Amino acid sequence: MTTSPIDQEELIQFLYLCPVGIAQIDPRGTISLLNAKGSQLLMPHARRLGLENLFDILDRYDATLRHLSATSEDHGTLCEHQVVQLESAEKPQHLAFTLLKTSPETIMAVFEDVTRVTEAEAETRDLLTSTAIERGRSELAAEVLHDIGNAVVGIGTRTASLLEDSQWPELIQLGKLGGFLSSRSEALTATLGEKKADALIKLVNEVHGSLESRRQRTEESMQSFTMSVHHIQEILNLHRHYARQSAYAGRERVSLKVIAEDALTIQAAALAKRSITLERRFAPDLPKLSLDRTRMIQVLGNLLKNACEAFDACPPAAGRKIVLEIARDKAGSGLCMQLRDNACGFAPERAELLFEKDTSTKGRGSGLGLYHCRKVVESHGGTLVLQSDGPGLGASSILTLPNSPTPEPDHADHLEHENPGH
């Protein structure tokens, strides 16, 4: 078949403008044909070398292609989508090469920039790794929580039994003895003399009074202890519930208020320890959202924990306060949650730095850092930002979550808890 000059010109333009790099090389890498995209991709790395030899350009990054091309085979595919990482001033560039040997002295090279795809793959890999780690942690946590739970049940049972025995029959008998001696004081005086009789009655009554007040203190302590054990059991149940859930985490329509309340229960001790007043400002009739409740309670718990710990950097002061506000977002379909504290705050320009991986404001790692919190929120299509007017001026965490098409009014908030149980 013959081709007219116009067809040849079109063919050249077609190859020239083809949006992937195309080169014809010999087995030593010498370039005989190269299209525009090829030049665009290689030139920044070739510089003074020019575009005479493909392997001379690539060798300082990766000599794989040179080695693959040294094959004694006459023809055939030498590699497919072989990625070469080329360093550049800004960030590494990844080019994927396919080499097809068409004759002993001719190799067709097709290559494209796969930097974005490679970065996206790396991000996905990171996410999968962190998800796997998170899942492993959850499973471990569930086991540990189960064991601790069993131990706490033992403590609770023993405490309850001690409370049942809190009347101390010996003390009752001692009280009766005191009463008996008082009622027989005349006979005692006749036998022992007034001084000794009074001293004996006084001694018995004082011992009884002293023991009775100790018994009451012990009983109060036991009651307080019992309440603490109950509280620990509640927290353990919540944690266990969410730890177990995360092994098969999924989305369900759930109230953000319920998640917030659960996070608050878990962080109750952190709030109480620092004498922080919590103010809830929940708007009525908020829609339920499609959320991964396990992950979201971790996010809210982490934001609360950070807010609590921010007070540790402040001088002790009265009026420590956290305001937790949940309202509809500006569009009216999604939700906006704000967590404001009047703690130490931070310089406004540091806000984004706090989200960087492995960054901690406290100099130590936390279970779910802000980096992961934001990842979780973003996986729900939402946003998470931190704001502060400056050091000493408090800080806010602002979380927005969009809604999927059919919002359901939030009428059954507190019916959502299933019995955590064993």
Residues at the contact surface with other proteins, assessed by CB under 8 A: 9, 12, 15-17, 31-41, 43-44, 46-48, 50-52
Task: Please give the DSSP secondary-structure letter assigned to residue 417.
Answer: P
Closest distance between other proteins and the C-beta of residue 249, in Å? 43
**Least distance (Å) between residue 399 CB and other proteins:** 38
Helix (H) or strand (E) holding 6: helix 5-17
Distance CA 34, CA 22 (A): 6
Q: How far is the CB of 62 from other proteins (least distance, A)?
A: 20
DSSP single-letter state for residue 142: H
List strands edge to edge, sheet with 93-103.
31-34, 21-25, 106-113, 93-103, 76-86
Taking the C-alpha atoms of residue 152 and residue 147, their distance in angstroms, rounded to an integer, is 9
Phi, psi of 109 (to 5 degrees): -110, 130
CB of 63 to other proteins, least distance (A): 21
- In the complex with other proteins, which residue's Cβ is closer, 39 or 333? 39
Q: Which amino acid is at 141?
A: A
Instruction: Using DSSP, state whether 32 is helix, strand or coil.
Output: strand
To the nearest whole angstrom, how small is the minimum distance from the Cβ of residue 40 to other proteins? 5
Nearer to other proteins, 29 or 382 (CB): 29
CA angle 91, 97, 100 (to 5 degrees): 170
CA–CA gap between residue 84 and residue 94 (Å, rounded): 6
Residue 46 or 144 having the CB closest to other proteins: 46
> Nearest approach, Cβ of 11 to other proteins (angstroms)?
10
Quick check: 320 and 343 in contact, CB under 8 A?
A: yes
Measured from the CB atom, is 84 or 354 closer to other proteins? 84
Measured torsion, CA atoms of residues 384, 390, 394, 398, in degrees rounded to the nearest 10 = -10
Please report the sign of the dihedral spanned by the C-alpha atoms of residue 368, residue 371, residue 376, residue 380. Answer: positive
Taking the complex as a whole, the smallest distance from the CB of residue 133 to other proteins amounts, in Å, to: 38
The span from the CA of 166 to the CA of 180, in Å, is 23
Looking at beta carbons only, is 41 or 254 nearer to other proteins? Answer: 41
Q: How far is the CB of 35 from other proteins (least distance, A)?
A: 6
Three-class SS state of 115: helix
Shortest Cβ 65–other proteins spacing (Å): 18
Q: Which residue has the tokens 């974005």?
A: 116
Count the neighbouring beta carbons within 10 Å of the beta carbon of residue 319: 8
What is the nearest approach in angstroms of other proteins to the Cβ of residue 13?
Answer: 8
Is 52 or 123 the residue whose CB approaches other proteins more closely?
52
Which C-beta is closer to other proteins: that of 34 or that of 337?
Answer: 34
Q: Which amino acid is at 393?
A: L
Q: How far apart are CA 139 and CA 245, in angstroms?
A: 10
List the structure tokens of 102: 């068409």
Residues 234, 237, 242, 244, Cα dihedral to 10°: 180
Compute the distance between CA of residue 401 and CA of residue 408 in angstroms, rounded to an integer. 15
Nearer to other proteins, 43 or 70 (CB): 43
Q: Pick the closer one to other proteins by CB: 11 or 190.
A: 11
Element containing residue 252 per DSSP (H, E): strand 252-254
Complex with other proteins: residue 32 or 360, whichever CB lies closer: 32
Q: Minimum distance between the CB of residue 71 and other proteins, rounded to whole angstroms? A: 24
Give 51 or 268: the residue with its C-beta nearer to other proteins. Answer: 51
